Every structure is written in C-alpha cells, then in structure tokens.
Structure 1
Amino acid sequence: MNKDPRNLGQARPRHPEKAHRPDQEVLRKPDWIRVKAPNSKGYAETREIVRSHNLVTVCEEAGCPNIGECWDKKHATFMIMGEICTRACAFCNVATGLPGPLDPAEPESVARAVHKMGLSHVVITSVDRDDLSDGGAAHFAAVIRSIRALNPGTTIEILTPDFLRKDGALEVVVEAKPDVFNHNLETVPSNYLTVRPGARYFHSVRLLQRVKEIDPSIFTKSGIMVGLGEERNEVLQLMDDLRSADVDFMTIGQYLQPSKKHHPVIRFVPPDEFKSYETVGLSKGFLLVASSPLTRSSHHAGDDFARLRAAREAMLNRAV
C-alpha cells in the first residue's frame, strides 16, 4: 500500500494531540480478554486481498483484538477515505493530521474486494473528514452504490462519523439505503471533553434519531466502550437516550489502551457486568445487545444482522 504523504496528506507524528499527556501506565490485561496472535491461512489470504486492492481496514488501524478471528473467516471492516483522521480522540489509534484528496477509484476497489472475499455482509467505516464540505457523505454513498452494483446479494452496514456541521450530509448517506446505519457514541457524556473532544454527545444521539425519521426501514446501531471511568447509572442513562432515538442495536465492549499516550484504562470490567448490561439493554427495548469484553462494533456483524432481522420480524408478528 502506498503511504507516501504526498499522496495521502501530511500526517503529523502519530499522536501529537496526546503529547501533553504524561505517559499512562498500561494495565495488565486480565485473562478473559487475552487473544491469540493471528497466524492462520485464512488470515493471510484476507490480508493479501486487502493489500492487493490497496485498501485500509479499521481492523489494522485501530489494533482490533479480534482481527485474527475475523480475518480467518474472511471478514474485514473496510476504512474508506484514507488513514489520516481530522479528529483527535484520546482512545483512538488512528493517525491524526491533514488528509489527502479522496481516491475516486476507492468505491470500485472496495466493491471488487467484497466480491473476491465472497462477503454476504460487509461493514464500511471511515476516518473523520472534517476538511470536506460534506464530511465524505457523497463518498460513503458512492461506496454503497458500487458494492450493490457488483454484489447485489450483499447486505451493507456502515459506521459513520457524526457529520458535525455538515448540513445535508446525513440525508445523502441515508438515501443510498445501507441496511444498517451505525454511529458510535463511544462513551458516556461526562467523558466527552477528555475522550471524544471533537464530538457532541446529543448531536450524535440526534443523528441516529434522524436516520429513523428519514427511513424507518434502516436498522440503527451504536456502541460504547467501558472502563473509561464511567458510572453504571451513566451507562443506563445512555441506553435510555439511545432508545429515545429508536436505536435498534447496542454494542458494549472493554476499552483497551493502545499506547501510554492514550487515555488510560481506569478499570477492566468483568464478564458478569457485561452480561448484566445486556440483560438491562434488552429490557429497555433494544432488538439486540452485544455486550462482552471483546465486543467491537463490527465483530460478528453478519451473524448479528441475521439476528436483528429475526428480532424485528418477531416483534412485528407479536404486534399483529
């Protein structure tokens, strides 16, 4: 993959925005979130497909602990619009800087990779592109249309930025009709100034609500990390906020500190607490809740989409 900054934009040192932070001690991971290093044949084949199509994946850029499991099954989450983000979130391992221009061939390249991997469900995410007038909305829509043209049987899930201050951008993406629209809240509102300073909590909630208002047939989804110092009652209130926005699916996973420059892990949440969050979330009306230490937004996304559809059908049948 060509990572010449003349082509991809001028990246500052990988995490300059965190340079003011003293190095944070990285807590030892408990046994319940340890994973094996990826080394399978399927993993190698997926990596070759990604490389040969000059694509970026959030699996690699964010250092996802599930990459070995997912890539072995030919599942990958494609990250479009480059690998340099305009935001500086304290939890994220993606490089921050000034991105380069969009690649007009990327939508077709992603569609070809989806075809070659034989994906029945694909997840597309992106860096934040605050430098673009529409935040990259038209590019998202182009990727969705290209995938559909070459892979008509593939369902499409997108994980988008918040399109903050980009009037009309959301409507462009929704018009392309993804099957699942995911936008992560990431953490409780009291953490936003330190964890997600470039975002606005209630704008993100409203974004998800607006998707449902425009097209109720699209599943909506959001996720958070725990272990960032949040209180349980804050997580429960966040659940209520998402349900007020008619969000269908919530994911909850353990925050893992990418480096000493990032926000520290305040606590490793034990598996029984994750199970409790799942039980509470379902009681609040979510169609699906995925809650475990290793849960990530796109982990088991295809299986979860099938469960989402089944849960909606069951709910509609009960209403008849």
Structure 2
Amino acid sequence: MSRARKPGWLKSRPPSGERFTDIKRTLRDRDLHTVCEEANCPNMGECWSGGAGEGPGTATFMLMGERCSRGCNFCDVETGGMGELDPDEPENVAAAVAEIGLDYVVLTSVDRDDLADQGAAHFARTIAAIKERDPEILVEVLIPDFRGDLDLVDEIIAAGPDVIAHNIETVSRLQWPVRDRRAGYEQSLSVLEHAADTFEGYTKTSVMLGLGEYDHEVYQTLSDLREADVDVVTLGQYLQPSRSHLDVSDYVHPDKFETWRRVAEAELNFLYCASGPMVRSSYKAGELFVDAVVREGRSVEAARKSARAASNSA
C-alpha cells in the first residue's frame, strides 16, 4: 500500500536551542532515556525547548531501558532483548530533574513482562526519589497495564504521584492489530477505573485517531472512559513511524479534532481534553492544565483556557 501524503497542517517544530541541547546532554551524561526520542515524538522540539513565558520545558523519562517486552504495531520503541534494571536509575532520574530544573515531571516506561512485578517497584522508587528531593515537584506517571494486576497499580499509587495515566490507545475493535495481544480494551479500562476509584489525584488517558476508527466508536470510547471516571483525555493523529508499522488510514482534519474536544468537555464532562493532530499523551498543554489546577488552585475553566492558549501559541 502506498503511503498517504501528509497534509499541510501536520507540522512540528524542529529540535533546537540551548535549552534543548542542555537537556540532551544531561540525559546522555546520566545514561537516561526519554520516550520523546525513542518514539520519535513530533513535539520534542517544542517540549524540550520550552516557550516564551511557558516555563522551563518538559521531558518524559522512559524507565527500565530502551527495549520493550511487547510489540505494538504503532510504536517505534524496539522490542525484545530485555536487559537488567539499572538500580541507580531512580536516583539518576531525580538528579536529572533537579539539574534540568523541572517542576512537572512525566515518567513512563517500556513494558517489562519479563519481571516478576513488571517493574512496578522500580517505578515507585523513581517517584519516591523525585519527591524526596523536592515534594513540590508534580509527578505524572504513564504506566503500563501490568497485565491487569491491580495490586501493582496500588504500588504505584502508594508512591505518591500527582497524575496517573494509562493509554487505551484506540477503539475496542482496533485493539489488535494496533496493540500487542497482551494488551486489551477492557484490561486498560480496568486499570483506569481502579486508579480513579482509589487514587486522590487525576487520571488521564490518550486515544490515537487515523487508524480506521469510525466516529461512533470514538464516541463510545470517550463515553467508556468517562464512565470509568477518567479526568483528562488527549486525542492525536497516528503517524506511521516506518514502513514496517501500521499504515495511516486517514489524516483527521483539525476541525474534527476540535469537534471531539467540545464533545469531551461540554457533553461528556472531562475536566480537560487536549485534541489536535500533533497532540500526544505526554503533551505540554495537558501538563499545564494539571499544574494550574493542582499547584495554582485555578478553576477548571481558567486552567483550560491557559492550557489551550499555550497549545495554540506553540
């Protein structure tokens, strides 16, 4: 199948600037990985470089190595050949956060089905290391599904993050071939619902569009997520990392993304929805929203307005 031509609205800011270079140097010096690099995120330049009046920039640290035990067909992270955990990584991440000067940190990881606890304790140690250095730093964790083991989700919750995210990725019908067969729609919903029921902070998820989903399926997915009490949702365009990954079914127009944002917030009552072709699960505008409602105590409406303004100015 020939690759569809990208439309003009799919533009990203190329990585550049002193800030970007400093963050990259810090990560290399400490042998740390980011999902920004491993997954070829199109927003890396924007997030790492920061923006005028928008703080020091953000980076999403990827824990437990650069190779994943699963093989999702949308993801550019390498699969297999799992290595030993680095026992120094939690402290190295905390030190890097302090050196870079972040006040909002996103932690994610590869899947580690090869480990008895699937990496939950390592995740928890990293959260604790950051909070021990500075309790005021807000920590968002984008966690795996832990194969539906909710005790492992509880271990993450006990470490004290401020936001728990887990991505459902796509609609129910397309879970395979989009995701690894060990993942699943109901399994992801159970993780999100459990987090919402037992966690005092905010819950968050992400959905990719352009994989062949129908509008009624997107609406049903958003409804299911809201029924599970998820607070924040992001919707973005799937972009094919290479020819060996899933083809893009269609490029969704920005106006359609705006329609889904209005549906999510005004009709389904999500606290916040970041929706646009270049939006990703760890997206600066979404982080600014959470920062505003948690740290600054702004109203949801005021926080939405601030985050949207930051997104539009990027």
TM-aligned CA deviation for residue 248 of structure 1? 0.2
TM-aligned CA deviation for residue 57 of structure 1? 0.3
TM-aligned CA deviation for residue 165 of structure 1? 5.0
Q: How many residues are paired up?
A: 292
Q: What is the RMSD of the two structures over their aligned residues, measured on CA atoms?
A: 1.8
Task: Give the SS at the match of 1:268.
Answer: coil
* 2:179 is aligned with 1:199: no
Q: Counterpart of 2:136?
A: 153
Distance 2:283 2:148 in 1: 30
1:90 and 1:263 in contact (8 A); partners too: yes
2:140 and 2:164 in contact (8 A); partners too: yes
Q: Counterpart amino acid of 2:126? A: V
> 1:88 pairs with 46, 68, 71, which one?
71
- TM-score w.r.t. length of structure 2: 0.89
Distance 1:229 1:274 in 2: 15
1:248 and 1:288 in contact (8 A); partners too: yes
Stretch moving more, 41-50 or 60-69: 41-50
Distance 1:311 1:249 in 2: 18
Alignment of 1:127-276 (within 5 A): 127-166=110-149, 168-196=151-179, 197-215=181-199, 217-276=200-259
Q: Counterpart amino acid of 2:9? A: W
TM-aligned CA deviation for residue 98 of structure 1? 2.9
* 2:282 is aligned with 1:305: no
TM-aligned CA deviation for residue 26 of structure 1? 2.9
Q: Counterpart amino acid of 2:32? A: L
**Gap runs ≥5 in structure 1:** 1-23, 316-320
> 2:10 pairs with 6, 11, 33, which one?
33
Task: Give the SS at the match of 2:195.
Answer: helix
Q: Counterpart of 1:293?
A: 277
Distance 1:105 1:272 in 2: 46
* 2:47 is aligned with 1:63: no
TM-aligned CA deviation for residue 85 of structure 1? 0.3
TM-aligned CA deviation for residue 37 of structure 1? 2.4
Q: Counterpart of 2:26?
A: 49
Distance 2:63 2:149 in 1: 18
Distance 2:150 2:86 in 1: 23
**Gap runs ≥5 in structure 2:** 51-56, 301-314
> 2:61 pairs with 78, 81, 90, which one?
78
Greater relative contact order structure (CA < 8 Å, 6+ sep)? 1
- TM-score w.r.t. length of structure 1: 0.87
